[in-house]
Amino acid sequence: MLARGELEQCAAQIDEPVAMGSGRASASWQARLISFGLRHTFKPLLAAAAKASQIRALMACPTGFMVPMDVRISEATVGGVSGEWVEPTWESTNHFLLYIHGGGFVACSARTHRAISSGFAQQGFRVFVPNYRLAPEHAFPAALIDVIAAYNGLRATAGEGCKIVIAGDSAGGGLVLAALLALRDANQQLPGAAALFCPFLDLSDEGGSRRTNEKSCALLTRESLARFARLYLGNADPGMPLASPIRANLERLPPLHIQVAADEMLLDDSTGLANRARKAGLQVELLIWQGVPHAFPLFHHLVPEGRRSVAAAGRFLRLAATGHWMGQTSMHSEQRMIAAARPRCYHPDWPQWRRQLCGKRSVRSPRL
């Protein structure tokens, strides 16, 4: 039991989404700096990248992340799909997470998203990140087929009694929701819960926040979103439920945890999903973050909001998968998770004495 009890109740009803901060002034200086830099460098370059090869080169740029000392990474093939295991070194666990990376369906890999997968591993999850086939060489539904194959392979690997959850960011979040729909329609066993970071869910919509937030969004433009959709879909109809899963019937899906930036173009994808999920009778939690860029958990080793986001998602997945999520979050225990999710890696810009000091500490992440 927490000594200070429950300090604050986070909204579980989507009618009252949790707003993390009341405005730009409440965002950390790190988040504001990252957003400013992305808006004036990465965003125009991404908008000008007309070819998939250009997009991949741009998204492969390093973010300064170094793998934490208490996380091990190994290459593997699960369900016929190659990828990476990202696991904690400090304990064995029966909690498995399938993480689907973003990248507009055309770029990125398990390696580019190690910041997020390592953050989950530090919370005790055994994380598998598949390198699903990318568009345009492999158009819809190739990526979705790979995600489902990886999930079925993970079920076989985990065995009975193990908890399997699923998560993804941006385009990966869209693939997560589409995979849940396909598994449900095939009457297959579903993951215990799902977490979606800034998901890209509607490949045909150009209104709402995609217009109003185009200027404030630190990463995306309408041109870049439309290009991602064209490259991914090929000749497929963007209105198909498995291509734009927000349009589908959401009944009988597992509990959903959704996070999104208030200033980004995909805000309506998240709020729309949350409202539709609530009406379908699902357990759902929505966190809206102020002053952070799209897919901000990628920068969780740089910005405190990213650490908090991964910690909150990990808590939800663990509790929801075991049937213990009651629609509220202890802010006190969340602070405990934030400490556990801080990457114990050493940025090259840190002073040498701090690297030595941190290197001598032996701190085990608490069992949540």
Q: Known catalytic residues?
A: 170, 264, 294
The phi and psi torsions of 181 (rounded to 5 degrees) equal: -65, -45
3-state secondary structure of 218: coil
Residues 6+ apart with CB under 8 A from 316: 193, 195, 255, 257, 285, 325, 329
Question: Chain centroid to CA 289: how far?
Answer: 14
Tokens of 332: 């006190």
CB 129, CB 115: distance < 8 Å: no
**Separation CA 302–CA 26 (nearest Å):** 17
Residues 6+ apart with CB under 8 A from 140: 232, 233, 234, 236, 242, 243
3-state secondary structure of 94: coil
**Separation CA 331–CA 286 (nearest Å):** 16
Residues 6+ apart with CB under 8 A from 3: none
The phi and psi torsions of 197 (rounded to 5 degrees) equal: -100, 115
